[in-house]
């Protein structure tokens, strides 16, 4: 009978032990909430990336080279390669579509203008 009493006290201690609650998640949630823009305010405009502009210019340069608009820097000859030009233009279109809403005003204008001009030049050359 003594064993049973000790067992009951042991069970009681386990079942009714003091619970510890981790409240650190509340602090993390408040920190995230403080960083989020307030309702009704416009989100921060993305900054212009020189690397992104360089990538867009590089693809535009390749497209112009394959359209025969500028000479190949290696050979100094102008050659028409519509498949390669189309591929470079398509890459720019993918960049435009996949980065929609994440570009600075300057990046967006450059990309849209370049794609439109290259598409016109492509249709004229083919």
Q: What is the pLDDT of residues 32-51, one digit of tens each?
A: 887 776 655 566 788 999 99
State the pLDDT at residue 28.
84
For residues 98 and 22, which has the higher predicted lDDT (pLDDT)? Answer: 98
> Tokens 């204008």 appear where?
109
- Collapsing DSSP to helix, strand or coil, 96 comes out as helix
Q: State whether the Cα torsion 81-82-87-91 is positive or negative.
A: positive
Domain ranges of the chain: 50-125
- On whether the CB atoms of residues 115 and 93 are closer than 8 A, the answer is yes
**Which band of pLDDT confidence, cut at 50, 70 and 90, is reported for residue 9?**
low
Helix axes 50-66, 105-125, angle to 10 degrees: 10
Residue 69 has pLDDT above 90, yes or no: yes
**Which band of pLDDT confidence, cut at 50, 70 and 90, is reported for residue 27?**
confident
Distance between CA atoms of residues 51 and 29, nearest Å = 34
- Percent of the chain beyond pLDDT 70? 77
- On whether the CB atoms of residues 62 and 84 are closer than 8 A, the answer is yes
- On whether the CB atoms of residues 51 and 60 are closer than 8 A, the answer is no
Distance of CA 84 to the CA centre of its chain: 26
For residues 27 and 89, which has the higher predicted lDDT (pLDDT)? Answer: 89
Q: What does the pLDDT average to over 98-124?
A: 95
């Amino acid at each position: 009978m003594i064993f049973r009493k000790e067992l009951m006290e042991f069970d009681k201690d386990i079942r009714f032990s003091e619970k510890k609650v981790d409240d650190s998640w509340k602090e993390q949630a408040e920190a995230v909430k403080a960083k989020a823009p307030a309702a009704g305010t416009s989100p921060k405009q993305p900054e212009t990336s020189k690397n992104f502009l360089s990538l867009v210019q590089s693809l535009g340069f390749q497209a112009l080279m394959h359209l025969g608009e500028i000479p190949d820097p290696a050979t100094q000859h102008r050659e028409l390669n519509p498949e390669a030009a189309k591929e470079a233009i398509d890459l720019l279109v993918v960049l435009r579509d996949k980065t929609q809403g994440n570009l600075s005003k300057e990046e967006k204008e450059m990309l849209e203008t370049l794609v439109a001009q290259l598409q016109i030049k492509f249709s004229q050359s083919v």
